[in-house]
Amino acid sequence: MRLRFTKMQGAGNDFVVLDATDAPLALSPAQLRRLGDRRFGVGADQILVVERATRPGVDFRYRIFNGASGDEVEHCGNGARCFVRYVHERGLSDKRSVRVETVNNLLTLTLRDDGRVSVDMNRPVFEHAALPFVADGLAPRPLGGFERWPLALGDGVVVDVAVLSMGNPHAVCRVDDVARAPVAELGPQIEAHERFPRRVNAGFLEVVDRGRVKLRVYERDAGETLACGTGACAAVVAGIRLGWLDARVEVETRGGLLAIDWAGADPAGGWAPVWMTGPAETVFDGEITL
Ligand SMILES: N[C@H](CCC[C@H](N)C(=O)O)C(=O)O
């Protein structure tokens, strides 16, 4: 199969983007892994597939596959920014704001005049079943009206994590110096911890001040990426609920800067949506034979 693709990146989180708006694309996990493979294929953290929407009032369907496993996942924030850049550059839409549906979410993606992209990432979900996270037998460590959960790792290490879903599962721990955090050692242990039956994205958060953080994320099925959009949202939401952060936070990732806004409780009830703003660039177009 000859396949045209576009390579894109958002804050260094990189993607192979495929246009399936004219005809459905049914790629096998092995073909998806080939696209994600940095030696035997194109190389990308995730593969994004653009499809026509399945319901009224929505412009496109947005499917995401982790490049290392070929498994489909629920959400990709950096990918969402690239998604709207892609549909604009390919003339699939002339709207500056598009609404896209994912397996479990509805997002609004907006091209800004300053060249960045803003995404309404929808509302965070704190119910443990949404991740899922199994807290049985754990005593939470409450802080600021939220809680952290002591996760027992190897060699007697216990890490306090805040857990929440942005459509995909996140566990966030605070560190003093993100550059020296043992992400390679602790990331895989948190990602695959038995209390996360569908595994989890592990965020390592350094609070610089109430409006600025540094973040590294060991992503589920991808390892450490240069940036994780849903991870940045999850880290800021956790930091706000734990009392460490204000409503607007600049997130420094190894691949670039993301701006996250979250008002917390929604006056109309429930939680407000999370807004993320950041870069989205096309790197090159190509063809590959799978
Ligand atoms: N590895 C993630 C999906 C990609 C998320 C990340 N690239 C983002 O920008 O949100 C997961 O398995 O949930």
pLDDT in tens, 240-278: 999 999 999 999 999 999 999 999 999 999 999 999 999
Specify the 3-state DSSP secondary structure of 229.
helix
pLDDT at 23: 92
pLDDT for the residue numbered 197: 98
Annotated binding-site members for substrate: 13, 46, 66, 77-78, 168, 201, 219-220, 229-230
Give pLDDT, residue 135: 98
217 lines ligand 1 (CB under 6 A): no
Specify whether the CB–CB gap between 171 and 198 falls below 8 A.
no
pLDDT of residue 145: 87
Q: What is the pTM of this model?
A: 0.97
Atom of ligand 1 nearest to the CA of 233: 10
Residue from 76, 82, 173, 233 carrying the catalytic annotation = 76
| Structural domains of the chain, with CATH | 2-122+280-289 (3.10.310.10), 128-272 (3.10.310.10)
Q: Is the beta carbon of 122 within 6 A of some atom in ligand 1?
A: no
Is residue 220 within 6 Å of ligand 1 at its C-beta? yes
Residue 241 Cβ < 6 Å to ligand 1 = no
The residue from 82, 173, 228, 233 that is catalytic is 228
- Of 265, 276, 267, 193, the closest CA to residue 232 belongs to 276
Three-state secondary structure call for residue 279: coil
- For residue 251, the number of C-alpha atoms closer than 13 Å in the C-beta half-sphere is 36
3 state DSSP class of 35: helix
Residue with tokens 């030696």: 39
Q: Whose CA is nearest to atom 12 of ligand 1?
A: 220
Residues in contact with 90: Cβ distance below 8 Å, sequence separation at least 6, in sequence order:
6, 19
Q: Is 82 a catalytic residue?
A: no
For the chain, list residues with pLDDT below 50: none
Q: Are 202 and 186 in contact (CB under 8 A)?
A: yes
The CA-based angle 108-105-183, given to 5 degrees, is 95
SS3 at position 237: helix
Beta strands in 121-219 (DSSP E): 141-143, 146-152, 158-165, 169-174, 201-209, 212-219
Q: Rounded CA gap, 255 and 217, in Å?
A: 11
End-to-end CA distance of the chain: 5
**For residue 23, what are the contacts with CB-CB under 8 A and spacing of at least 6?**
none
The one-letter code for the residue type at 227 is: A
Give the pLDDT score at 91: 96
Q: What is the ipTM of this complex?
A: 0.98
